[in-house]
């Protein structure tokens, strides 16, 4: 704790005192019922983070009007009927010493008629390029009605027992749409100058303040910079912050972006840690109220430094608290080295949310499944043998040990990690290595007996005499069945990333999925001339909407050539042939060919165990190659079944 004196120190926002400066910001979960009411899952998820020691939880964007709903199972506050459920949530959080606020929200044009049943609403009829729908322009009468709706929602929040409210003026949703010259083209008193564009949010602030009284904490979240031409600039963001303070806002939560620049709203791992702190610092220069910094802050050392340098007063740990609900407790108790850090992969959280699914976490299968995976001791301690030291195997070993089982792990290579070091070797993805480090440390902390260079056979397993075997043997690179695939100039993508294979100057990468794109970038960064050949109509079909555009931009910057709709038919000494549009074509002058067409299960042990009489589970890629998310979830599930 001595190393985090500021982060663990109390602070006041208005008259609300927080036990520390660690904030859980609003993150839509899709855990609520379809009508917007609180579920047991929603409550348990927040309770776990309150128990984990966070100072303040700000509940996700909560729609103040049915047409303001942004996601199918988003929590709502537009009716008194939601108060009992919200009160049960508040009581669960308060029981563990945390404060709790709720974010008042209207999605504006950043929703769809599929979600609300009506056309989206906006200050101006400008199609959102992400949702693809043309919104209807709000009338002045509707604007006045929404001002009242926000005020009524604030009344409900206070009546339910929330300690504060936050007004959502960020990320391209309705209030931000009014603030931004990019989305507000009105010619009446609600458009044009910044003063006019601020009129609607300020009317809402006044209505909220009137509803809750002068002493009740009211926060505002802003996009201080929309990170796009024609959008809100930092100078405007600072002016907005000053005006909000003058009008009675008690704290400013400084973020950035809108859907069109979504990688600034939710930053993937190619964005550096703390990438929005400079915005918080600039806002803090012009206001005297507390400033909350956000933006891929997953490291308490970074958080403490931000506070020590006076760049912000509080730190929002968003996805970091998805990854480890006990992060604040570990910081406070001097166990920061035990934190499971967010790797900013976006796969189980934001990618799933944008697909209108419930969120989860790649590195923490309990996120959203706290009730299903309570981490309680098993009724009987059993002898568990885990075969495979990748993410599935280490997570199965970790959770099994925490539940009281005697665990041994066998790994056939000299190192733990499976494909995690491979993934971390890809450009811009070294953050993934922190998950491997965490799991490896947990093996030691929990006293799990780890045997490296240990090949598992049925005979060896029988000698070990385990009660349960968990097969987590992973996958191997898939091969291509074409003439020439066995040539010396043909190598596997995995060997390229790990440095076990050398390639020439000009390289053809066969496969344009995530691995193929990353290998092409990896090679291009090292001065190779790379060409991606993909049989599908486009590359990157397995890449998420935040990671993909940034990766594609980098490929373009590195002059990586891309051929799509091309099915490989042969590999020559210095050329490849493929079929495209019914014709066979040839590309010449390649020194090397890299195969990146996916992977296949390493399932020989699993097959041998069938019918052996040995009680076993098969998890992760050994069952079916997928993402880290699936491997970790299956490991958690199986460890709770043992």
How far is the C-alpha of 506 from the C-alpha of 20, rounded, in Å?
A: 55
How far is the C-alpha of 195 from the C-alpha of 8, rounded, in Å?
A: 38
The angle formed by the CA atoms of residues 13, 321 and 172, to the nearest 5 degrees, is 70
State phi, psi for 206 to the nearest 5 degrees.
Answer: -65, -40
Q: Which residue has the tokens 């590359």?
A: 539
CA-wise closest residue to 331 among 138, 55, 28: 55
Give the containing element (helix H, strand E) for 331: helix 327-332
How far is the C-alpha of 153 from the C-alpha of 27, rounded, in Å?
A: 19
How far is the C-alpha of 588 from the C-alpha of 576, rounded, in Å?
A: 7
Residue 173 falls in the annotated catalytic set: yes
- Strand bridging mode 22-24 / 16-18: unpaired
For residue 288 the two structure tokens come to 């005297």
Helix, strand, coil shares of the chain, percent, nearest 5, are: 35, 20, 45
CB 306 within 8 A of CB 312: yes
Question: What Cα–Cα distance (Å) separates residue 328 from each residue in 23, 90, 317, 440?
Answer: 9, 19, 9, 22
How far is the C-alpha of 363 from the C-alpha of 630, rounded, in Å?
A: 10
The torsion angle over the Cα atoms of residues 101, 371, 74 and 294, rounded to 10 degrees, is: 50
Check the CA dihedral 89-91-94-100 and report its sign: positive
- Strand bridging mode 56-63 / 99-105: parallel
CA-wise closest residue to 642 among 378, 370, 390: 378
For residue 436 the two structure tokens come to 């491997």
Q: Which one of the listed residues 173, 190, 369, 633 is annotated catalytic?
A: 173
How far is the C-alpha of 238 from the C-alpha of 232, rounded, in Å?
A: 10
CB 532 within 8 A of CB 544: no
How far is the C-alpha of 562 from the C-alpha of 546, rounded, in Å?
A: 20
For residue 471 the two structure tokens come to 């097969």
Question: What Cα–Cα distance (Å) separates residue 363 from each residue in 319, 337, 348?
Answer: 11, 16, 9
CA-wise closest residue to 442 among 302, 632, 634: 632
The catalytic residues are 173
């Amino acid at each position: 704790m001595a190393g985090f004196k500021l982060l663990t120190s109390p602070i006041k926002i208005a008259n609300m005192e927080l036990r520390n400066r660690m904030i859980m910001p609003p993150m839509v979960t899709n855990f609520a019922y379809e009508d917007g009411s609180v579920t047991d899952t929603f409550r348990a998820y927040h309770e776990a983070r309150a128990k984990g020691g966070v100072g303040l939880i700000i509940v996700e964007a909560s729609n103040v009007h049915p047409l303001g709903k942004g996601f199918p199972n988003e929590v709502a506050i537009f009716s008194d009927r939601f108060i009992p459920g919200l009160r049960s949530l508040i009581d669960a959080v308060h029981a563990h010493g945390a404060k709790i606020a709720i974010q008042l929200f209207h999605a504006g044009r950043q929703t769809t008629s599929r979600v609300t049943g009506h056309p989206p609403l906006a200050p101006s009829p400008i199609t959102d390029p992400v949702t693809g729908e043309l919104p209807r322009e709000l009338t002045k009468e509707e604007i006045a009605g929404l001002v009242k709706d926000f005020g009524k929602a604030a009344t409900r929040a206070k009546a339910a027992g929330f300690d504060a409210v936050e007004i959502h003026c960020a990320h391209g949703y309705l209030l931000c749409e009014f603030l931004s010259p990019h989305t507000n083209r009105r010619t009446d008193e609600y458009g044009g100058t910044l003063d006019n564009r601020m009129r609607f949010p300020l009317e809402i602030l006044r209505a909220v303040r009137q509803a809750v009284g002068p002493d009740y904490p009211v926060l505002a979240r802003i996009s201080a910079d929309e990170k796009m031409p024609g959008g809100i600039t930092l100078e405007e963001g600072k002016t907005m912050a000053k005006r909000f303070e003058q009008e009675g806002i008690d704290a400013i939560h400084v973020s950035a972006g809108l859907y069109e620049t979504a990688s600034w709203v939710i930053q993937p791992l190619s964005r550096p840690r703390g990438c929005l702190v400079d915005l918080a610092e600039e806002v803090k220069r012009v206001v005297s109220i507390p400033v909350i910094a956000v933006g891929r802050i997953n490291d308490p050392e970074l958080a403490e430094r931000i506070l020590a340098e006076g760049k912000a007063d509080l730190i929002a740990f968003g996805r970091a608290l998805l990854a480890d609900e006990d992060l604040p407790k570990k910081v406070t108790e001097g166990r920061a080295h035990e934190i499971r850090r967010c790797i900013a992969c976006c796969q189980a959280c934001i990618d799933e949310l944008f697909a209108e699914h419930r969120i989860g976490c790649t590195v923490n299968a309990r996120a959203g499944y706290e009730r299903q995976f309570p981490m309680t001791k098993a009724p009987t301690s059993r002898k568990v043998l885990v075969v495979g030291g990748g993410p599935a195997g280490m997570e199965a070993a970790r959770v099994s040990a925490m539940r009281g089982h005697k665990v041994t792990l066998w790994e056939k290579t000299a190192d733990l990690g499976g494909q995690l070091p491979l993934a971390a070797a890809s450009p811009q993805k070294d953050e993934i290595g922190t998950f491997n480090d965490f799991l490896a440390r947990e093996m030691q902390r929990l006293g799990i007996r780890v045997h490296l260079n240990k090949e598992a056979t049925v005979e060896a397993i029988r000698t070990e005499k385990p009660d349960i075997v968990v097969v987590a043997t992973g996958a191997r690179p898939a091969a291509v069945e074409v003439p020439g695939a066995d040539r010396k100039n043909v190598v596997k993508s995995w060997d390229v990333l790990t440095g076990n294979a050398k390639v020439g100057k000009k390289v053809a990468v066969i496969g344009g999925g995530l691995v193929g794109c990353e290998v092409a970038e990896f090679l291009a960064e090292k001065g190779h001339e790379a060409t991606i050949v993909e049989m599908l109509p486009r590359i990157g079909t397995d890449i998420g909407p935040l990671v993909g555009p940034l990766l594609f931009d980098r490929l373009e910057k590195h002059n990586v050539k891309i051929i799509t709709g091309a099915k490989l038919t042969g590999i020559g000494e210095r050329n490849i042939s493929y079929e495209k549009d019914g014709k066979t074509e040839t590309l010449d002058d390649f020194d090397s060919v890299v195969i990146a067409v996916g992977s296949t299960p390493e399932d020989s042990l699993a097959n041998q165990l069938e019918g052996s009489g040995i009680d076993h589970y098969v998890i992760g890629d050994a069952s079916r190659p997928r993402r880290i998310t699936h491997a970790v979830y299956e490991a958690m599930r199986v460890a709770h079944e043992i």
